[in-house]
Amino acid sequence: MAFLLAAQILEHCIHATHCHALLQCSLPECRHISLMGGFTPSCALARLLVDFAAAGKLQSLELVHSPCLSDSDFQGIGRIRSLIALSVVATGNVAVTHSAIWQLSALQHLEVLRWHVGDVLDQPPMPQALAHLRSLVAWCIAPALHAQLERWDDYAVLQALPMCDVWVETGL
């Protein structure tokens, strides 16, 4: 539901299941990319992200159950300064951990962050990583992460982000 906020401002939408299909799109016209399921190795994603970082047009990126995604890919994602909405669903993917959230601190326009990463054994993200995201209005998380944050009283960082609401999403 939180993506409805960002979806209203998107002009174009691309849905693909393989990264090579996205590499053929017209980069200046792309506003939203949704990668669902498997895609080619990380190098193709990194190339795509560098192109978008240079173009500065991408406003929404959705990465859902992408087995080739790893923490290192978030360096490229963190350079896409035009991002308003980012959705990462990588539960059960041991190559993506909560530490990847540190790479997003430069996304000054990010309003919606959907973060379903790791599992119950993964360390929760350091709350300080979110403090730089001053435009954040919605942080959508999985119930397991919510439980971890409550247990360790890590929601205190949100005092620095008074406009940010936490949405605990179930049923994914």
**pLDDT at residue 162, as a whole number:** 85
Cβ–Cβ < 8 Å for 87, 3? yes
Write out the two tokens for 56.
């500065």
Query: Which residues of the chain register pLDDT less than 50?
Result: 1-25, 40-41
Write down the pTM of the prediction: 0.78
**pLDDT at residue 46, as a whole number:** 60
Give CA–CA dist 125/129, Å, rounded: 7
Q: How many CA atoms lie within 13 A of 70 on its CB side?
A: 9
Q: Which CATH superfamily is domain 3-168 in?
A: Ribonuclease Inhibitor (3.80.10.10)
Cβ–Cβ < 8 Å for 94, 120? no
Write out the two tokens for 8.
């209203």
Give CA–CA dist 158/41, Å, rounded: 35
Write out the two tokens for 33.
């990319």
Q: Hey, what amino acid is at 153?
A: D
Tabulate helix, strand, coil % of the chain (nearest 5). 35, 20, 45
Cβ–Cβ < 8 Å for 95, 118? no
Specify burial of residue 3 (Cβ count, 10 A radius: 0-12, 13-18, 19+): middle
The domain ranges of the chain are 3-168
User: Which residue bears the tokens 């999403």?
Assistant: 169
14-62 per-position pLDDT tens digit: 343 343 344 444 555 678 877 777 554 455 666 666 666 667 778 998 8
Q: Provide the 3-class DSSP secondary structure of residue 17.
A: coil
